Structure 1
Amino acid sequence: MSFAALVLAGTRPGGDPLAEAEGVAAKALVTVDGEAMLSRVIGAVRGAGAGRIVVACDEGPVAELARAQDCEVVQPARGPAGSVQRGLDVTGAPLLVTTADHALLQPGWVRAAIEGTPDDADVGVMLARREAIKAELPGSRRTYLRFADGHWSGCNLFFLRTPDAAKAIAAWQGIEADRKRPWRIVAKLGLGTLLDYALGRLTLAEGIARLGKRIGVRAALVEAPSGLAAVDADKPSDLADIRAILARQQG
């Protein structure tokens, strides 16, 4: 399948502490193994077969780097969901969405997000099981969504397979705001679903499917092929983990 990719590389209002700690203008420019994180992400999505890559970022060094690597640039919106909508407006579907701080991103994970999204789905959302993350990074401390089939963490990989995926963007913004309060996410689905969640009977796949139905899209869970797909650079400890992982992989 031919697809486009959107890389979210906006800067938080007031700057980013990780960028300041590393002495660069934006987090996307933080170097890992001698290469800016944005460059690594661009390389991964291009290696997966993306025919068009758009980077949502402010004008300046990040935009210059994106254009130097043959990417288009769109101005970010106030929040991630708005930036995704702008990217979708530019490219149309199908669109793979990820973030510039996904420094460990692999082409295989991108392809898994695409190929793992069913043909009858509008949206695919990749998450990793806690067991998979702990196996790869035992000391990792993350926020998990607890469901009947285990504890899950997001991977910042979304596949907007059809134009109807646009209906989900506003809802995703609400989910992101409540990502540390999963009960509030489930509560939006109605009393029956909330009861199933409270009694430990709701799986993550069922929750995503029900949420999709509630907002008028067909949404599907895509299980990450590696626990490392859930590791991004949100804080200095994450960056240290990423650098250690790469050093270990290089032997």
Structure 2
Amino acid sequence: MTGFKALVLAGSRGGVDPVATYAGVAHKALIRLDGETLLARVVTAVRAAGASEVAVISSHPEVRAEIARLGAVALEEAAGPSLSVERAAQQLGTPLLVTTADHALLEPAWIQRFISETPGDADVAVLVAKRNTVEAAAPSTKRTWLKLADGHWSGCNLFWLANDRALGILDLWKRVEAERKRPWRMAWILGPRMLLRFITRQLALRAAAQRLGEVAGVRAAIVVTPYGLASVDVDKPADLDLVREIVGRTQTDL
């Protein structure tokens, strides 16, 4: 698919970013990998996948200078990621691909396959990878796994908002974000029956997605990628070492 718009999240969480400090830069998005900033690598990938317009959320002055250099649209951060995405989606319109500036290894083929495999009746879709797929591609990676009845899963920082109805999921995201310090309240949003299934490891991934969609009033879809590296982002210094190793190994193999 071509002609969609893309949104890249490059906001700041507040405080010192250990990855940026480790790399000696002012912001994680400005880390250089194989001669390019992480932000440049992501913007290049989404454009190559067919994005007609790319916007980046960041209020950091140096990141905004890089956004301008890349010819992307700079959008200001709002009070929290969910509100930032909601405002951006209202401004940009749909369909909209959402990803993050630290998706250092992002490839156009991953995006194209994700979009093509999203069901036509889905309002919103999320890309995930199974643990064995991720560990086969990057054995040393340390991820946070979502442990469910049908396996261990990792998100891939790729989201598809197919139409304006998808904005309902952002309202749910804001509710979850507000309860981030009370995990039991976050889980309770799914309802007591689903919470019990989760606790007893009887909840499967697609059932959870379906329930989240019902709560948000949208049709939600899960797309499973065969690309294990799609789940590798740069969240901590060890992740940066890993992606540098992977890119260096790829260059050696050429």
2:162 alignment partner AA: R
Written as runs of structure 1 = structure 2, the 5 A alignment for 1:185-200 is 185-200=186-201
Q: 2:21 aligns to what?
A: 20
Equivalent residue for 2:84? 83
After superposition, give the CA deviation of every residue in 1:142-200 in whole Å (9 maximum; x if it has no partner).
Answer: 11111111000111110011101111113224556788998765432222222333343
Q: Determine whether 1:116 maps to 2:117.
A: yes
Partner of 2:64: 63
Report the TM-score, using the length of structure 2 for normalisation.
0.92
Aligned length: 251
CA 1:33–1:174 in structure 2 vs 1: closer, same or farther (change >3 Å)?
A: farther
1:156 partner letter = N
Relative to structure 1, the CA distance from residue 13 to residue 200 in structure 2 (aligned partners, 3 Å threshold; closer, same or farther) is closer
Contact 2:57 2:75 (8 Å CA) reproduced: yes
Q: Which amino acid aligns with 1:221?
A: I
8 Å CA contact retained: 1:122, 1:160: yes
Which residue is equivalent to 1:48? Answer: 49
CA contact under 8 A between 1:168 and 1:215: conserved in structure 2?
yes
Structure 2 letter corresponding to 1:45: V
1:1-251 alignment to 2 at 5 Å?
1=1, 2-175=3-176, 185-250=186-251, 251=253
Deviation string 1:70-96 (CA, Å, 9 cap, x unpaired) is 111100112211111121022111100
Specify the SS of the correspondent of 2:121: coil
Contact 1:196 1:202 in 2 (8 A): yes
Aligned equivalents of 1:177, 1:245: Cα separation in 2: 36
Q: Letter of the aligned partner of 1:17 in structure 2? A: P
In 2: Cα distance, 1:178 partner to 1:228 partner: 30
CA contact (8 A) 1:145 1:151 kept: yes
The code of the aligned residue for 1:69 comes to L
TM-score normalized with structure 1 length: 0.93
8 Å Cα contact 1:143-1:180 kept in structure 2: no
Secondary structure of 1:169's match?
helix
Counterpart AA for 2:156:
C
The answer for unaligned runs of 5 or more in structure 1 is: none
Q: Tell which deviates more after alignment, 142-151 or 170-179.
A: 170-179
When structure 1 is superposed on structure 2, of 47-56 and 197-206 the one drifting more is 197-206
How far apart are 1:25 and its partner, in Å? 1.5
2:91 aligned partner, one-letter code: V
CA separation of 1:173/1:191 partners in 2, compared to 1, >3 Å: closer, same or farther?
A: same
Q: Which moved more, 1:179-188 or 1:220-229?
A: 179-188
Aligned partner letter, 2:165: D
Equivalent position amino acid for 2:134 in 1: I
Query: Gapped runs of 5+ residues in structure 2?
Result: none
Distance 1:174 1:237 in 2: 31
Deviations 1:196-233 (A, max 9, x none): 33343321011101111112011010112311111110
